[in-house]
Amino acid sequence: MRIKNELAKIVGKDYVSESMEDRVKYSRDESLLPPGIPDAVVWPGSAEEVSKVVVWCNEKDIPVVPVSSKVHFYGCTIPKQGGIVVDLGRMNKILEIDTENRLARFEAGVTWEQLVEELEKKGLRPILPLLPPGNRSVLTDTLEREVSTNIVYDYGEPMQSAEVVWPTGEIFRCGSASVNGFPDSKSRGANPSGPGLDFYRFLQQAQGTMGIVTWISIKAENIPKIDKIFFAPVEDLAYAQDFLYRILPRRIGQECLLLNNVDFAAILSAKGFGDFDVLRAKLPPWTLILTISGLIRRPEEKIAYEEKFLNQVLTHEFQKMALTDNLPGFPGLGRLLMPMLRRPWPSNLPYWKSTVKGGFQNLFFITKPNQTPMFMEIMEMVASRYGYPIADIGSYIQPIEHNRACQVEFTFFYDPDDDVEKAFIGDLYIDAAKALMNEGAFFTRPYGKLASIIYDRAANYTMTLKRLKKVFDPKNIMNPGNLCF
């Protein structure tokens, strides 16, 4: 009762709970990590309330676990050492859409569905990761640097300024929003950098361990006037990568990705395009998906020069790359997929990865595109060692910025009610991660059990992170038990 009464003084009695039902709800997520029960849950309505909660927790040495999304896949919101869950879901306002400067500023609880809809009314769009759950927090995915399907360099690193409540309770604005009196200021908050240090960098990929970010602003882009989508069946991954090395640096394309038959079948079947097993059997091993767009001025001319370049490359250099506007055997695929790539996954439908077996575990890393065939072989070796059919693993390759790098994601599907299978997948996941890491896969986002493996291999980075953390969070109250903290 004592905690509840104290927190009720800050957020109001309707916005704090110690009920077992609420605590259990926040004790687990969609990951394989074990549950952890919080002592209480609060739903603050403002940065000032967040600050007071954090100050109170700091005085009492109580862990604070920030939560913004309604769905979580990586275990970082599980209260590993108890404490207070601070759910920012009530802070769900889009604070401004500045069409002239093409920026949007919004609170932590704003979802992809909400933001896409509101931006669309102004002719703008956010740049999205691949089919993110509609009820995920945009702020969380942006801070965690979810890789987007769009490869246009100029759209990259969309985060601009941010407001953070530091672990000691101070409210602080990063970047050019740091000016006195913001947003009633000449500065619009368009620059993430500064003041003094690049504080925003400390908050990225931090899993809520460095502070609670209450709003961010991001770059918004114009909605193209015309879009065209192309598909190519891919048997030889190295050949496809050579093709992407040829076209993406020449600034061809908007969305561009490679999906294996498992992931693509999961997406299409979850959208009602057919049966998963039938699709998986019928789809090529990989499908290259590429869109080109005509922008707000002379859209047809833009489409024309990109198509001309593509045709020249296909005709003279990559005759085996069968890039056309539909995938053979799948009529209507383009019409289905093009709008999907610009929207989140509808929150009223089961998430596409959950439709295969119920549960799933992602394993993703950054590498160079020409190394992807090697990493596919490594995954095959590890899976075969476990007797796990490679035909059941989802694979997704996301080129980044003109194909200078890419993210590779493997997805293991499992039955969440089968404890034996869960344990098996957990072991496979860790062993695969180690094998990939040994060959140079770079894991930028150390979640759950991966964290200790990753930080053990990065001794000086880990020590420096701990020193920095001590400056901002001397009592280590912010989401303890994650990363190396």
Partner 1 sequence: MSIQKQAYNALEAVVGSKYISDDPVICEGYRSGPGGYESGLGYERVMTKIPGAVIMPKTTEEVQQIVKICNRYKVPYVPYATGFYGPRSHCHVENELLIDLKRMNQFEIDEKHFYIVVGPGVIYSPIQQEAFNKGAYVVIGGGGAQASAIANLIGDGWSPLSHRIGLPHRRILGTELVLPDGELVKMGSLAHGDDPFWGEGPGPDLRGLLRGFTGLRGCLGIVTKMAIKTLPFQPEPLIPTGISPNTALALPQKRVKWVNYQMPSKAAQVKAMFEIGKAEIAGAVTKVPLFWRAIAKAECKEEFWEIWGKENEDTIKNFFIVRVLLIGYTSEEQMEYDENVLNDIMKELGGIPRPTKPSDESWLKNADSAGMWLMCGSYVSVDYIIESLSQATVHGEYYAELKRKYTPPLMPDYGDPGWFQSFELGHQGYSEFLVYWDQDEDTTGVDHFYLETSKMNIRERFYTSLLGPHQPLFLTGPKYGPNYHEWLLKVKNEFDPLWVCHPPVPLAHDDFVNRAEWMKPLKDWESPEKLPMPEWK
471 binding partner 1? (CB under 8 A): yes
Task: Rule CB under 8 A: say whether 201 interacts with partner 1.
Answer: yes
Quick one: tokens of 71?
């769905």
Q: Are 237 and 372 in contact, with CB atoms under 8 Å apart?
A: yes
- Which range in 8-16, 17-25, 104-112, 186-194 contacts partner 1 by CB under 8 A? 186-194
Least distance from partner 1 to the Cβ atom of residue 396, Å: 18
User: Among candidates 45, 33, 40, which has minimal Cα distance to 19?
Assistant: 40
Of these, 210, 212, 363, 376, which contacts partner 1 (CB under 8 A)?
210
Query: Per CB under 8 A, does 179 bind partner 1?
Result: yes
Out of 235, 278, 305, 350, the residue judged to bind partner 1 by CB under 8 A: 305
Q: What are phi and psi of 4, to 5 degrees?
A: -60, -45
Amino acid residing at 339 = P
User: For the CA atoms of the chain, what is the radius of gyration?
Assistant: 23
298: contact with partner 1 by CB under 8 A: yes
The structure tokens 């002592």 sit at 39
Sequence-ordered strand ranges (E) for 380-467: 394-400, 405-414
Span from 18-26, 53-61, 264-272, 470-478 in contact with partner 1 (CB under 8 A): 470-478
Please identify, using beta-carbon distances, which residue of 322 and 405 lies nearer to partner 1. Answer: 405
In the complex, minimum distance from the CB of residue 3 to partner 1, in angstroms, rounded to a whole number = 29
Residue from 381, 370, 382 nearest 408 by CA: 370
Closest CA to 139 of 120, 166, 123, 161: 161
Spatial distance between the Cα atoms of 68 and 77, rounded to a whole number of angstroms? 9
- Pairing type for strands 40-42 and 84-87 reads parallel
What whole-number distance in Å separates Cα of residue 265 and Cα of residue 391? 12
The residue ranges of DSSP E strands in 152-192, in sequence order, are: 159-165, 171-174
Out of 308, 320, 335, 385, which residue is the one contacting partner 1 (CB under 8 A)?
A: 308
Among 206, 289, 290, 314, binds partner 1 (CB under 8 A): 206
Asked if 173 interacts with partner 1 (CB under 8 A), we say yes
417 binds partner 1 (CB under 8 A): no
Taking the complex as a whole, the smallest distance from the CB of residue 434 to partner 1 amounts, in Å, to: 12
Beta carbon of residue 72, minimum distance to partner 1 (angstroms, whole number): 17
Answer yes or no whether residue 181 interacts with partner 1 by CB under 8 A.
yes
Is the Cβ of residue 385 or residue 457 nearer to partner 1 in the bound state? 457
Binder to partner 1 among 172, 347, 422, 476 (CB under 8 A)? Answer: 172
Among 58, 443, 473, 480, binds partner 1 (CB under 8 A): 443
Closest distance to partner 1 from the beta carbon of 156 (Å): 7
Q: Select from 11, 42, 110, 203 the one that contacts partner 1 (CB under 8 A).
A: 203
Name the phi and psi angles at 310, rounded to 5.
Answer: -60, -45
Which of 153, 225, 326, 336 forms a contact with partner 1 (CB under 8 A)? 153
Task: Report CA-CA distances (Å) from 91 to 50, 65, 333, 444, 449.
Answer: 10, 16, 38, 28, 31
386: helix, strand or coil = coil
Taking the C-alpha atoms of residue 106 and residue 94, their distance in angstroms, rounded to an integer, is 4
**Mask 74-113, x = binds partner 1 (CB under 8 A)?**
------------------------x-xxxx----------
State yes or no: residue 317 binds partner 1 (CB under 8 A): no
Pick from 46, 81, 187, 355 the residue near partner 1 by CB under 8 A.
Answer: 187
Piece of 184-192, 260-268, 273-281, 333-341 that binds partner 1 (CB under 8 A):
184-192
- 258-297 residues near partner 1, rule: CB under 8 A: 295-297
Helix (H, G, I), strand (E, B) or coil at 125: strand
* Number of residues forming the site for partner 1 (CB under 8 A): 97
Q: CA of 154: how far to CAs of 254, 258, 285, 325, in Å?
A: 11, 21, 31, 26
315 binds partner 1 (CB under 8 A): no
Q: Is 180 in the site for partner 1 (CB under 8 A)?
A: yes
Q: Which stretch binds partner 1 (CB under 8 A): 87-95, 350-358, 375-383, 448-456?
A: 448-456
- Of 12-20, 37-45, 149-157, 276-284, the window that binds partner 1 (rule: CB under 8 A) is 149-157
Residue linked to tokens 């361990």: 209
Q: Does 306 bind partner 1 (CB under 8 A)?
A: yes
Instruction: Say how far apart CA 432 and CA 383 lie, in whole Å.
Output: 8
DSSP classification of residue 186:
S
Q: Which x/- pattern over 240-259 shows residues binding partner 1 (rule: CB under 8 A)?
A: -----x---xxxx-------
Secondary structure E strands in 189-252: 212-219, 221-222, 226-234
Q: Which of 229, 426, 445, 478 binds partner 1 (CB under 8 A)?
A: 445
Q: Which helix (H) or strand (E) holds 87?
A: strand 84-87
**Near partner 1 by CB under 8 A, which window of 20-28, 304-312, 353-361, 385-393?**
304-312
> Is 132:363 a contact under the CB 8 Å cutoff?
no
Q: Which part of the chain contacts partner 1 (CB under 8 A), choosing from 60-68, 171-179, 226-234, 385-393?
A: 171-179
Give the chain's length.
485
